[in-house]
Structure formats: structure tokens, C-alpha cells
Structure 1
């Protein structure tokens, strides 16, 4: 069978795209830069109690942020109570109602989707209770159409772009990619769309499909999904991209059982930098990178944004730069503890802002 000749222009375009991918990845893997966030703000508002509603504490990203919230709350002198929705749709609004009944001074939502949670958030707004969240919308900052004053996050679309470009760079511009997402969440769908667009723009790459698998049902669904994809695509499937590391927790064992070599299947995640992801990267078990969120730092930022609202000041809108964790840089910035914890002194800076020891 005759094949169409590849034009010189196409070859140049592919080469340029690959070089751009390598430049972006190189920049994203640099050690954490000096702190470029806020340095001034209101002192600690005394004696506050904050309700924290978590989407699912089984998710390493959510758990890491909650740990940061607890650490920062202790530093600022506040009390906190955690309400866990367990990834169950019918528990989300119940946990918000329970949080409201506990009479908090503020509400932090960790995970979830602000617009989907709107019926449960409105009663807080009606009582003048400020709300901030983590990963509750497709973009960082205030969430339009909701009472969420600040969505703390890195830039989800840049996270997705770096993840997909890392796959292109690693493959030499020949990735056969499946993207895993959860369409129940706006931020997840935004990430998946961005990753898919980057793969499509790579002339030598193939986007095999975007697969919708609910995060809350990963343990149940991912083993069978992985086996089905292997059967369908065979060796054409070379790269797995996901909106969260948790997908790989349940895909990796299936790949091992199927006799797939670590070199034959490359995993990259657009968040969040879980302990299991760090372990896979360190041991070279399929996963070569995760665009890790500074989970603990984000917990501190949530408390700082809430403190500003309680002091009747504006939120900062601060967005932390994107960082890709790989085998080459995993030992830095908290990697020895299996987390991405930037060594930029953010704890001391926030304490100084709050005028706390």
C-alpha cells in the first residue's frame, strides 16, 4: 500500500513542536523558586472555628491539603473540624449541612465542584460565612456564580499542558496516548481537554481516546478498564495521561500482571503528587512524572485567604507556579518525604503575616 510522502514543512513543524515540549518540561522541572506570593496581610483573627468539607480523604491530594490546613490552623490559633464526603454524591450536601450546623466562622471545601455544590453553599453565603476552596473549579481565583471567594490551585490548564508535553518529549514525538478523566468535575474535564489538545497538535502522536472513569470508583473500575484498553490497543498504547495520580494506583498492578515492561507503558499525571506516585517515580515503575501540587503550602494558603476574608479584606488570588516531579529532581523540595513541599520558607512568611510565633 502506498503512503503519502511526508512534507519537509511537516517534518520541521514536528521537530519544532518537540523542541518546544522539551523547553517547557525543562523549565517545569527546576527546583522551587524563591517565594513570590504575599508578604503582607491582616494579623491573625483570634479564636476562629473553620469547617472543612473534604471530597474524599482516600484521595492523596485532598488528604495532603487537609493536613496543610490543620498545620496552618494550629499555627494561626484556630480550631478545625473535618467533614468527609467519602467521594459519595449523596453525602456531599449532607456533609455541607453538617458543617453548617456546627456553626463555623468559615468554610473550606477541599475537592468537589463548586457549581455542583451550590445548593449546599448558599446557606453559608446567606449567613455571611466566607468560603474558600481547593480544586473546586477549572481556574484559580474567585469562582463566578458561586459564593466561593477563592479557589486555591496551580493553573490547571498549565498543569495539563506540561503533563502532555512531557509525554511528547519523552516519546520523541511519537506517543500513543489514553487520557483518563472524571467528567463529574469541571476542573478534571478542563485538564483532560487541554491534554488531548496538546497530543492532537503533535504530528507524530496519536490520541487513542479520552476515557471517563469516576475518581470515586477508581478501585472498582480501573483494573477492568486497563485490561480492556490493553486488549483493544495493544502496543499502540504507549502513554497513559491522567488528571490525578489515583488512576495509576489501580492501573499499575494490572500492567505488571499483564507482563508489560516499565519502558513499554509510560505514565504521567496532571496532579496531585501523591505518595504512591512518588514511590512509582522513584522505583521506575511505569510512572515517570507527576505535576505535583504543593499540597501542604496550599493548605496554608487556604487558611491565609480565609483570614483575609474574616478580616474583611480581599483574597490574594495567588497562583503557585507549575512543577513537574521526575526521577531527576524527586529528591529535592520534600521528595525524600514523598511529597512536593517547596523549600521557600512559606511557613515562616505566613507566620510573619499573621504575627504569630
Structure 2
């Protein structure tokens, strides 16, 4: 995987703007190549920052399967991304007439299998996993499969679609590596190719680590940029650890540290106050997140307080998609495999697509489309 990511970084291929071709790897002694690299990086970032495009997902499918019981196992409801998706599932479930029950693992490994066991004991017709790693909890998923209970998830694997080797029929997600690439390219573009970066990740999960590796590969491909270090901080302990880690990194790198990249906005919730306490101006450091799009991130971006961007997930939309994919399985049909395009939220576009409500909620009519699919008013 690392070799593949490095190969990509050297070519810098942005699928967000595939029509723009390949980003050439910059050559330090060739100013023209460096300028071309930056120009194309900016085009990729600008494409990702455009308002939501018209709906390009499914438009037909089975009618709502009525009176189903759905168990929702959430990785950690303190995480804004997880909470946003759960809210979307609950909203859509009400439309189709399903009852739901939530089981929160609070981000602790010892609770994951227990919550899955509790979910199984609730005798659900379907299981929705929000966050986590499907392969890591495979022993807890097998009993559902043995009882022919369909399973869908959000961010439970590195790629969207069915999760090989598990009974998860559909992992709903944007393209996580594209999210990571756009985040890193945004840092490079706004720094003029001079970003000095620290990346925050959680190696306890495969997906965050792969996103962090993808960001690192892009930074390393920028000849004028420097990857200062990659720091492993468990998401579940970010409140406890990030203040001290941030102070330590400031003491070590000082003004050399210009950009913080993270696999989730939650790291910045606890790093930003430390930067303010240290007396740093809001523009002294730029924070960009490869995923989530939490309320606090929107507030920081809108106030221009350190955070300059988040590649926000359409959390509520993903919740509706989870319900639609589950409905198809309950009707004996196949999942859609739909992947929503990547979107970068910045101060320039934050007012669009739900930004006034501190979330990314694409204004493409997805709710009405799903209602028509389900034939629900």
C-alpha cells in the first residue's frame, strides 16, 4: 500500500479532476515544473471546493420495507462524524417507518464486541455499523451473518462497497484516499508549495492510517514542502493527549510548523485552544482535516481561527444512503455501491450547502429522491 501511494504521489493523479490529467512531480531545479505542479494542484483544490453537483446517485429501487427493527452500533458518539451519520440514519429510518436502537462503543476496544452482542440480543432485522473497522470486529459480525441479518456500515473499511472477508454488504463512504489527497494538496496550494507539515492519525484503525499515508505521500512529492513528522494519537484519547502534544510540538518546531493535517477534525478541537493560549495569531498555522466536517470545524473555518479547510463528509446524506442500501438488502436486492464526490469546505464556500447550519448537507435534493425511490410522502 505504501508503495502504491508513493507511486501515486510521484505522478500526483487527482481523480477529483481527472480531466485535468496528471500532476507532474516537481523537480527542485526546474522552476517551471514546480509552477506547473502548483497550478494543477490549485485546479484540483478549486474543483473540490465547488458547490455540490446535481445528484448522480440512484433514482430507482425497491419500495420501503415496512416495520423493520434496525440496530445501530456507533463507534463513538462524541465524534462529530459518527454522530452526524447516526442522525441521518435516524431521520431516514423515520421516513421508511423503521424502529431503531443505538449501541455506543465510546471508542473503547473492549466495548465493541460487547455492543455488537447487545445489538444481536435486540433481535434486529438489520445492523448498521457507524465507524470503526469491520475486520477488527469480525467475530462480533459473524453471528449476524449466521442469522441472515444484513449489515451495512459507514467508514468501516478503506474503500466503499462490500468489505471482502466480512459480511458487510456495503461500506458507505467518499473515496478516503481522494479525501486525503485533496486535503494535502490544499495545504500545498495555500502555502505556495512551502508547507511544513505535521500529520495526526490513529494507527489503531486501518483507514485513518491509510489516509495519513496518502497525505504524507503528497507532501513528500512537493519539493518545497517538508513533512516534519506523523504523530499517532488515538482519536478516543484526543481530548486527553492533544493539548500536551501540541505544546510539545510548538516547543520543538516553533515557526517551522506551518500546517497541521489530520484524519479527523476532532484533533483540532483540542489543539486550537493551545495555539491561542500560546499567543499565536490565527494565521500563524493552517489546519486542514481529511474528513468529518464537524460543527466546531465549521466554526473555526468561518471565524478564520487556524482551521482553513475540512474535506467534509455529507454525513446526513450518508445516513440516508445507509438506510437505502439496507432497504435494498431487506428487499432481496443488491446494494448500489454509490460513492459521493469529495468536497472541500473553506471560508470562501462555507455558506453554501448547509454551511449556515454548520454542516455539509448537499443542496441536490437527495431526500426527495430517496423518498420517491421508497415511495414515501
- What TM-score, normalized to structure 1? 0.97
Q: How does 1:1-357 map to 2 (within 5 A)?
A: 9-357=29-377
Which position in structure 2 is the counterpart of 1:3?
none
1:7 Cα deviation after fit: 7.6
Once the two structures are superposed, residues 141-189 of structure 1 have per-residue CA deviations (whole angstroms, 9 ceiling, x without a partner) of 1111111110000000000000000000000000000000001111101
1:353 Cα deviation after fit: 0.4
Structure 2: gaps (5+ residues):
1-25
Going from structure 1 to structure 2, the CA distance change for 1:11 and 1:324 (only over 3 Å counts) comes to same
1:88 Cα deviation after fit: 1.0
Q: Give the root-mean-square deviation of aligned CA atoms.
A: 1.1
What is the alpha-carbon distance in structure 1 between the residues aligned to residue 211 and residue 50 of structure 2?
22
What is the alpha-carbon distance in structure 2 between the residues aligned to residue 266 and residue 283 of structure 1?
13
What is the alpha-carbon distance in structure 1 between the residues aligned to residue 161 and residue 29 of structure 2?
41
SS in 2 for 1:324: coil
Going from structure 1 to structure 2, the CA distance change for 1:209 and 1:45 (only over 3 Å counts) comes to same
1:9 Cα deviation after fit: 4.7
What is the alpha-carbon distance in structure 1 between the residues aligned to residue 244 and residue 163 of structure 2?
36
What is the alpha-carbon distance in structure 1 between the residues aligned to residue 56 and residue 31 of structure 2?
40
What is the alpha-carbon distance in structure 1 between the residues aligned to residue 376 and residue 27 of structure 2?
64
Which position in structure 1 is the counterpart of 2:18?
none
Once the two structures are superposed, residues 67-124 of structure 1 have per-residue CA deviations (whole angstroms, 9 ceiling, x without a partner) of 0000000011101000000111101110000000000000000001011011111111
What is the alpha-carbon distance in structure 1 between the residues aligned to residue 286 and residue 30 of structure 2?
26
Contact 2:180 2:214 in 1 (8 A): yes
SS in 1 for 2:340: coil
1:15 Cα deviation after fit: 1.3
Once the two structures are superposed, residues 263-313 of structure 1 have per-residue CA deviations (whole angstroms, 9 ceiling, x without a partner) of 111000001100000000000100010000000000000000000011111
Contact 2:197 2:229 in 1 (8 A): yes
What is the alpha-carbon distance in structure 2 between the residues aligned to residue 287 and residue 205 of structure 1?
19
What is the alpha-carbon distance in structure 2 between the residues aligned to residue 153 and residue 8 of structure 1?
36
- What TM-score, normalized to structure 2? 0.92
SS in 2 for 1:160: helix
Structure 1: gaps (5+ residues):
1-5
1:8 Cα deviation after fit: 7.5
1:193 Cα deviation after fit: 0.5
